[in-house]
Structure 1
Amino acid sequence: MLPGAVVKVLSRVAGALALVSLLAGLPKAARAEPALSMDEVIGRTRGWTIGLSTGMGGCMATATYEDRTTVWMGFGGGSNKAFFALSNPKWRSLAVGNRYELQLLARGEGRWRGRFTGVELDKEMGLLAQDLVTGFVIDIARAGALDVVYDRKIIAQLSLSGSMAAIDALVDCQKSVIASLRTEPKAGDGARTKARGEGPQSEGGKSSGTGFFVSERGHLLTNNHVVNGCKKVTVTPVGEVAVPAQVVARDPNNDLALLKADLTPKDVPALNTRVRVGDGVSVYGFPLSGLLASNGNFTIGNVTATAGLADDTRMVQISAPVQPGNSGGPVIDQKGNIVGVVVSKLDALGVASAIKDVPQNVNFAIKSSIAQNFLDTNGIESKAKLKDATLEPAAVADVAKGFTVRIECE
């Protein structure tokens, strides 16, 4: 059973999200102009405050710098659009509703030019750009530092320190907002597990996840929740076309599924069943479909515990970042062997609501020993041998591309 504190945390979060749900249900004529304000603080991470805004209809992150400039960024309601804004009490000459042409010069990441609208905050004026593609906000966050130029003058210089951690927290927050807009909370919803599956990532009537080859005959391993309820499953190796796959075995209790595709893998990794706290690991997969790179993403971390929530010995805890769409993907040791199957991450939004801080990179994978038992039970054998030569991270990523696939479910 889950601790009572977990239920209380989710109940508080549900109450906060109800504000956004109520806003989404109002007719357009009844809505006020967008307002830059945070109505419910969810947590804080690396100098950024994460929260909910009824005015913007979704989640936002804010950070204030030494020159008193505040950066506001976030998402709106159930849409896939983003917003980006700046405010400063010194910008008293701004007029509400006027348009201003700004240049954003990112150090090392290029430049952008766009129109911002003057908006009024409680005690200062600001500049707001709406209906942006989400990739724009992520690019800004990646920049690390930003110069804001108006009328050929730099009006703000921002370090953007911690902005990628803020983006991760925003993604977690927004998924909960979207869920609240689609479904009305029911009694007992607060009892959901705090380690939620990281996938599949939904795209309309489709969803996607990650898998990897476990035999030379085209067998692949992934999470059961990635392919559960699918009428059609396809797999796409890196740089190749999608091919149909069949689900040949499931283990719902351990959230594993075995697929078979008419493919000859470039490589089949061995499963390493021995793992220690502190071991370096990496994750390769296809997170945030339609937003991040379609040819795969590679992240690095460590084994932080050899058990999951409530000392679940089937799991290993890792710090390598994962996102929706990573589910079913490989957790790889420094030699290119598999030590786990990505399955879930800590619900940062729920925990942050209780402790007012956003937990970072608390992620979980099914141990390779559990995966090996599942494969043995289903008669899957591989000629792969454990590798013993330590590789550079770039080399591990190259190896992972040869055995990892994107999985799509319809």
Structure 2
Amino acid sequence: MTNLQTTQADELKIKGKKAKEAAAVVGGLPTSLKNEALKAISQGLLNQVPAILDANRADLEAGRAAGLSASLLDRLMLDDARIQAMADALIDLTDLADPVGQVLEEWERPNGLKLSTVRVPLGVVGIIYEARPNVTVDAAALCLKTGNAVILRGSSSAIHSNTALVNVIRESLGSAGFPEDAVQLIEDTSRETAARLFRMDDVLDVLIPRGSAKLIRTVVDNATVPVIETGAGNCHVYIDESAEKEMAIRISVNAKTQRPSVCNAAEKILIHQNWPYTAELIAALQWEGVVVHGDDNAVKLADGVLVATDQDWGLEYLDLEVAVKVVSSTEEAISHINAYGTRHSEAIVTASIPEASKFQLGVDAAAVYHNASTRFTDGFEFGFGAELGISTQKLHARGPMGLPALTSVKTLISGTGQCK
């Protein structure tokens, strides 16, 4: 092993050990102390705005020099408003119920044994993510509120921002009398270190990737630690033949353009062949600066539509681009979505309750909308407070991952001397 490899392994080993030791402590701390820690972090962020922005500027300058896209730079960028939003979210989190210790079920057996299932922390949570420094604060906060320790591994593009934020978090935890080692940042952003993190079974209880489909696939394919898949969003809006014109256009434009760089933005629009306003919808998207790709029917119906390739249907553009396909029925829309979607968020716009029900039951996704934008798939919008990501798998958690998703369960059994 080279000196560099030794240094990489040492960082993981040292910080992993500290996180595991901290998890044993924070798992038993009262809600009141956890809330005080979150309030301290909130104030710490506001006190250190200039230092955080200086660090973020260094990342943005490096990102521009490296040719990062506008959407990635938007995800990377911090400003006064975004830091204030992070600080406010921490305060909002203190108002939410602490799931740890919640009794989910109680029962008694004929032999007199009394059993109860309660929520408990997961332990040490690993988060690997790209570009977005706000994830650093959100992930740490959610893990702390649920009595977990967290090991954060961001991307090289945000290393200065993440380091500044974690410094604030750890200093704030120390000032609140909370174990600061509950939050660890892996500063080595090499692929080799990431690969070692994937296999830290002796430390991590779960690994959660947030970022591109490529990142998530890499983690799922290579990790030996249990993984919760999140994030990739090839989301669709399907416009049924009975859809009201203005509603359909409004929802489609909002789902695509309100913030195109996020995972709940619409990437594809499917339109029933009998809906008569396809050209107007495409024109409305183009008016907002959206590059529209389309199948042969869409190309014939509107000007300026680029011919979609087979690759387009599976792409997550994360930009002002969309692909439009004309379909013959709700069944065809469902089949297309289930073939190309990422099980994130899908929407139907229709005046028909039977068609809406058919779509909502038939589409395989964590969130399925009727007459609403996909942009609502979010922990805050669902009333969960901050979220760790959108789980697109079916086991343990699905959809926006709020506080309960960061807990497991334990069965407590009380007897009076019973033996088998």
Between Structure 1 and Structure 2, the one with more helix by share is: 2
The TM-score, its normalising length taken from structure 2, stands at: 0.29
Q: TM-score scaled by structure 1? A: 0.30
Q: Please state which structure has a larger fraction of its residues in strand.
A: 1
